[in-house]
Amino acid sequence: MSQKVLITGGCGFIGRYVTQELLASGYQVRILDALIDQVHGDGSVAVPDGVEFIEGNVCDRQTVDAALAGVDAVLHLAAEVGVGQSMYEIARYVGGNDLGTAVLLEAMIGGPVRRIVVASSMSVYGEGLYRTADGTRLGQVRRKAARIKAGQWEAQGPNGEALTPAPTDEEKPVDLASIYALTKYVQERAVLIWGEAYGVDAVALRLFNVFGPGQALSNPYTGVLANFASRIANGQSPMIFEDGQQRRDFVHVRDVARAFRLALEKQSAAGHVINVGSGQSYSVAEVASLLAEAMGAPELQPDIMNKARSGDIRNCFADISKARELLGFEPEHRLESTLGELAEWVRVTGAIDRGAEMKRQLEQRGLVS
Residue 276, H or E segment: strand 273-276
Contact 208, 249 (CB under 8 A): yes
Please tell me the chain's helix, strand, coil percentages from 3-state DSSP, rounded to the nearest 5.
Answer: 40, 20, 45
Whether 180 is catalytic is yes
> What pLDDT sits at residue 118?
98
Distance CA 18, CA 195 (A): 22
The pTM of this model reads 0.91
Distance CA 21, CA 16 (A): 9
> What pLDDT sits at residue 210?
94
> What pLDDT sits at residue 46?
75
Question: Which of these is catalytic: 17, 180, 185, 221?
Answer: 180
Other Cβ atoms less than 10 A from the Cβ of 23: the count is: 15
Helix 224-233 / helix 284-294 crossing angle, nearest 10 deg: 40
> What pLDDT sits at residue 226?
80
- B/e letters for 121-137, b = 16+ CB within 10 Å, e = fewer, are bbbbbbbbbbeeeeeee
Domain ranges of the chain: 4-364
Report the chain (369 residues): mean pLDDT per 10 consecutive residues.
90 95 97 80 71 96 98 96 85 95 98 97 96 95 91 93 97 93 97 98 97 75 77 89 95 98 97 98 94 92 87 92 98 94 82 54 55
> What pLDDT sits at residue 194?
98
Which residues partner with 117 through β-bridges? 75, 203
Considering the domain 4-364 in this protein, what is its CATH number? 3.40.50.720
